[in-house]
Structure 1
Amino acid sequence: MKHRIEAGVIVEHEGRILMVRHCKPGAYDFWAAQGGGAIGDEPLADAAR
């Protein structure tokens, strides 16, 4: 099984939280925090950015 390391962040501004919607009609529809997958030995802070 291939593994992927991810980094995420919670962005809060004036009492609101930034979220990203992932939607594919008929398959999935969900909200998640911002983030990204690390490539090679990329620092997690860079992956999150």
Structure 2
Amino acid sequence: MTLFSEAISQKTETFLKKSKVKSRRIIEDTDISDLFGIEMETKPKRSK
């Protein structure tokens, strides 16, 4: 059980360190609209 706990603890530390860095795999809104040929709304419409 100690082996698993140590492995999980190490992975958790690695994930926490990496969590502060923005991933390069995130697609920006402008890239998505260009990719699919659609326009994205910048603000949600309010219903009356």
Query: Scaled by the length of structure 2, what TM-score is found?
Result: 0.16
Which structure dedicates a bigger proportion of its chain to strand?
Answer: 1
Which structure dedicates a bigger proportion of its chain to helix?
Answer: 2
Query: Scaled by the length of structure 1, what TM-score is found?
Result: 0.16
Greater Cα radius of gyration, structure 1 or 2? 2
Structure with the greater relative contact order (CA < 8 A, sep ≥ 6): 1 or 2?
A: 1
